[in-house]
Amino acid sequence: MSDASTASATTASDKASAAWIERYEGSLLNLFGRPQLVLDHGDGAWVWDVDGRRYLDLVGGIAVNALGHNHPALVAAVSKQAGQLVHVSNFFTSIPQVELAEKLLHLAKAPEGSAVFFCNSGTEALEAAIKLARRTGRTGIVAAEGAFHGRTTGALALTHKPAYREPFEPLIPGVTHVPWGDEAALRSALGPQTSALVLEPIQGEAGVRPADGDYLRLARELTHEVGALLILDEVQTGIGRTGAWFGFQHAGVVPDAITLAKGLGGGVPIGALMTFGPRVSTMLTPGNHGSTFGGNPLACAAGLAVLGAIESQGLLEHARVAGEHLERRVLALGHPLVTGVRGAGLMRAITLAADVSATVAALAREAGFIVNPVAPDALRLVPPLVITTDELDLLIDALPELLDAASTPKDTP
């Protein structure tokens, strides 16, 4: 086995990690639970903790580290920009901001008159999208069951999970959630009071559940019929994650707006709302919205470096091929606990026949692999787009032993 096996020789109670976690718990709000690791540095698809153990990172900051860790193009771009100009107010603009907006519009094949608003995160991009929807003069928004659109209060109203919503209700009114992929429910929910339909091309938080292409095309048709906006949340599916620049491009639809974040900055915080065509792009006017840090030169330089590296390294095609390789090899294991692999490109879930994903993830971490138990019966894999098939094979080769261990009944004392 690779060097990753060395991680199994130690535990999370190692001295340096334990000391930092104790300090963490004494100084940070407990919003994320106990940290699993204290990471120190990374390179490509690998990270090291403060005790020197190495892990293959198959989560990539939850689809954020598109270029992996310590990518030379991203490091060079951020270093250069930091030495030149980090931030300006929105009284001004900068060359990286304009160039990044133009590049995104080009990659999305957005029609003339389209435009971009930059912010700092995916949830902020959703807040801008909600305000865009309100500018239709209507207040109804339709979202999907299983959706995750963020945790700020506006975006939270569109997020479906009760555990996230209920402590903060009442949220903004007018939001209707429809069963995921149910065409009849979609037809019934959309009407003359609907301002927008908001969907993810692939639901990440719900366990990497893809939308059928026909479903997205129907969504486009129905929103046109009732005069509502079709807003696609591309926070996780955008920037090459699925093997195309944006998830909507697989279905051949043109949305009215998309939200972006995660992979766009490769780890430097940045989000965006992109509006398609002059009608939608003129709905928000000066004073309607804003962001102090959004679109600053540093974040935009990072975004340009990420997009440039994806192009120059052929990472769209690589994401598609590597994702298919992963699916084919996992299914070929024939392990009784594996029921399937779903998703696209390098946004995948290995689905399981039992609710043991958290146990598998813990065992994997001890063996030197970082995976995400996104649902009790699903493991989410959203690794850096630079991960090689040989690196993916390290996890796949280790899976049978991990799954066997997770499914073996423990002796009771």
Which of 49, 51, 57, 233 is catalytic? The answer is 233
Residue with the two structure tokens 């007018």: 174
Q: Which two tokens stand for residue 317?
A: 């095609």
Residue 123, marked binder: yes
Residue 242, marked binder: no
Which pLDDT does position 269 carry in this prediction? 98
Please give the C-alpha separations between residue 346 and each of 44, 164, 175, in angstroms, as whole numbers.
15, 27, 31
In the predicted model, what is the mean pLDDT of the chain? 95
Q: Is 49 helix (H, G, I), strand (E, B) or coil?
A: strand
User: Measured between alpha carbons, how far is 349 from 382 in angstroms, rounded to an integer?
Assistant: 9
Which pLDDT does position 271 carry in this prediction? 98
- Mark residue 178 as left, alpha or beta (left: phi above 0; alpha: psi -120 to 50; beta: remaining): beta
Which of 118, 148, 248, 276 is catalytic? The answer is 148
pTM here is 0.95
Confidence band for 9, pLDDT divided at 50, 70 and 90: very low
Mean pLDDT confidence for 77-105: 98
Which pLDDT does position 357 carry in this prediction? 98
User: Measured between alpha carbons, how far is 177 from 171 in angstroms, rounded to an integer?
Assistant: 14
Residue 235, marked binder: yes
| Number of neighbouring beta carbons within 10 Å of residue 11 | 12
Residue 411, marked binder: no
Residue 234, marked binder: yes
In Å, the largest CA–CA distance within the chain is 69
Which of 262, 276, 369, 377 is catalytic? The answer is 262
Q: Which long-range contacts (CB under 8 A, 24 or more apart) does 326-329 make?
A: 326/381, 326/389, 326/392, 326/396, 329/392, 329/393, 329/396
Residue 147 has pLDDT above 90, yes or no: yes
What is the percent of the chain with per-residue pLDDT over 90, rounded to a whole number?
95
Q: Is 233 helix (H, G, I), strand (E, B) or coil?
A: strand
Q: What is the CA radius of gyration of the chain?
A: 21
262 is an active site residue: yes
pLDDT digits (tens, 9 = 90+) for 49-83: 999 999 999 999 999 999 999 999 999 999 999 99
Confidence band for 411, pLDDT divided at 50, 70 and 90: low
Specify whether the CB–CB gap between 168 and 159 falls below 8 A.
Answer: no
pLDDT digits (tens, 9 = 90+) for 232-287: 999 999 999 999 999 999 999 999 999 999 999 999 999 999 999 999 999 999 99
H or E stretch covering 341? strand 338-344
Mean pLDDT confidence for 77-99: 97
Mean pLDDT confidence for 354-377: 98
Burial environment of residue 190 by CB neighbours within 10 A (0 to 12, 13 to 18, 19 or more): buried
Residue 138, marked binder: no
Residue 148, marked binder: yes
Confidence band for 409, pLDDT divided at 50, 70 and 90: low
Buried b (16+ CB within 10 A) or exposed e, 67-104: bbbebebbeebbeebeeeeeeeeeeeebebbeebbebb
Residue 413 has pLDDT above 90, yes or no: no
Which pLDDT does position 408 carry in this prediction? 81
Q: Which two tokens stand for residue 33?
A: 């639970």
User: Measured between alpha carbons, how far is 55 from 400 in angstroms, rounded to an integer?
Assistant: 18
User: Which candidate, 301, 290, 267, 310, places its Cα nearest to that of 107?
Assistant: 310
Which pLDDT does position 168 carry in this prediction? 97
Q: Which residues have CB under 8 Å from 162's CB, separation 6+?
A: none
Confidence band for 202, pLDDT divided at 50, 70 and 90: very high
Residue 8 has pLDDT above 90, yes or no: no
Residue 236, marked binder: yes
Q: Which two tokens stand for residue 342?
A: 């779903």
Residue 281, marked binder: no
Confidence band for 14, pLDDT divided at 50, 70 and 90: confident
Mean pLDDT confidence for 79-89: 98
DSSP 345-372: TTEEEEEESSS-HHHHHHHHHHTTEE-E
User: Which candidate, 321, 285, 268, 340, places its Cα nearest to that of 134?
Assistant: 285
| Number of neighbouring beta carbons within 10 Å of residue 174 | 16
Confidence band for 11, pLDDT divided at 50, 70 and 90: low
Residue 86, marked binder: no
